[in-house]
Amino acid sequence: MAAYLIGSLDIIDRPGFAEYARQVPAVIAQYGGRYVVRAGAAELIEGDGPLHRQVVLEFPDMAALKIWYASPEYAPLLALRQRTSRVKVIFVEGA
């Protein structure tokens, strides 16, 4: 069953985050992941609060998603992303 990372990002260092965005797609693909949503136009329909940059990644299953997130290849990029943005991230299994 597919698994998804859903993230809402507030970028605080645009040049630093641009470097993350340049490097991360190859590491995502290396672990079988792909972008479903990557910062497209968004519209808040219900609820309140700021609307940040959205991302949805799809992996073959939850194990693959967790292996990627904890991988040595992603570790330096994760640290870069954490320095350059504030993010809410959830992992969820697909239907």
In DSSP notation, 32-54 reads: T-EEEEES------SS-S---EE
- Report the greatest alpha carbon distance in the chain: 38
Domain that holds residue 38: 3-43+51-93
Question: Which residues, given as ranges, of the chain have pLDDT below 50?
Answer: none
Query: pTM here?
Result: 0.92
C-beta separation of 23 from 93 below 8 A: no
CATH for 67: 3.30.70.100
**How do 53-59 and 34-38 pair as beta strands?**
antiparallel
Number of domains observed in the structure of the chain? 1
Report the pLDDT value the prediction gives residue 40, as an integer from 0 to 100.
Answer: 81
φ, ψ of residue 24 in degrees (nearest 5): -70, -30
